[in-house]
Amino acid sequence: MIPGLTRQSRILGGLWGVAVGDALGVPVEFCSRENLDRNPITDLRGYGTHNQPLGTWSDDTSLTLCTVDTLLHAGEDYQALGRSFVRWLDAEVWTPRGRVFDVGNTTAAAFRRLARGVPPLEAGRDDEPSNGNGSLMRILPVAIWFAGRRTADAIEAAHRFSALTHRHPRSQVGCALFCLIVQRLLAGVDAASAIDEAWRDASAHYGAAPFSSELLAYSRIVPAANLKTLKLREIRGSGYVVDALEASLWCLLNSKSFDEAVLRAVNLGDDTDTTGAITGALAGIRYGLQAVPADWRSNLARHDDLDALFNAFVARTIAPISLLKRE
């Protein structure tokens, strides 16, 4: 256990970690690993791929903020969350600088379905090609909100919140694994144990197809000791949900600080903003708010709005949770 690290610090670290990891990756999204080897990200940058000023975050953070805001003010109201997502796409809420500059095809298609009145839990496509990381990147608030609930409740919540954009069981399982891992990290469990214990509980829960077979798509994450030893060349920073979760957990296991984890994630190349955001969520919970560099936080777009929202969310979720297993 990291001495003096409170649950409040872990939650704030995770929320800020999403935005920081995202903003680090935005300028180099789609860049190859080879290019980043020659010119690695070591700090926040401006412009680049999307020609955005330094500190600009993407849809990863925006949709996380929509989820935080909805949980805070409407609870588990999927209609309200769907409306928030559509309003974001129309550049009305939670954009960093007043316009949307990046959104995945699967996510955008789901939002158009929501705008037409398709029920929220039916809006996401459920075909196999629709297994990008667009629901995994925004699921952290759900993991925090359900952290004190039964395993089955957390898993089913992950499925439902994923379904608004990604309804295939593989994406839903990835979100559920992430939520179970976060639950343990919040309780002070070390990263490797958190991964192995989450897998154990997911395996016990998923007793039948299609979820039991889709769980096997993530089998490289366990045992965590083996995931940690994979070579860099075996880790992919792509937009595929399985790659995204594997890469983020690998970065967490192979680092000793928040900044080391997120910089390792972004410098994997390809879908840099999302790998950065997911890793930032995990590393922020693991190391706490104090470990997220203050200058990175202060340079983010809409810093004061983020600060107010995150602190309000923490105030609603700070009730003690049962501790699972201490480091």
Beta bridge partners of 125: 166
Q: Give the tokens for residue 257.
A: 């600080």
**pLDDT at res. 217:** 97
Tens digits of residue pLDDT in 227-262: 999 999 999 999 999 999 999 999 999 999 999 999
Residues recorded for the chain: 327
Containing H/E element for 59?
A: helix 59-74
Mean pLDDT, rounded, of the chain: 95
Q: Give the tokens for residue 326.
A: 């201490």
In a domain, 327, yes or no: no
- Residue 99, pLDDT above cutoff 90: yes
How many folded domains does the chain comprise?
1
In a domain, 1, yes or no: no
In a domain, 140, yes or no: yes
**pLDDT at res. 1:** 60
In a domain, 19, yes or no: yes
In a domain, 223, yes or no: yes
What's the average model confidence in pLDDT over 64-72? 98
State which residues form the domain around 130: 7-36+55-317
Q: Which are the contacts of 297, defined by CB distance < 8 A and separation ≥ 6? A: 16, 19, 20, 303
In a domain, 242, yes or no: yes
In a domain, 215, yes or no: yes
- Residue 2, pLDDT above cutoff 90: no
Share of the chain above pLDDT 90, in %: 93
Q: Give the tokens for residue 249.
A: 């957990």
- Residue 97, pLDDT above cutoff 50: yes
In a domain, 72, yes or no: yes
- Residue 171, pLDDT above cutoff 60: yes
- Residue 324, pLDDT above cutoff 70: no
The CATH number linked to 243 is 1.10.4080.10
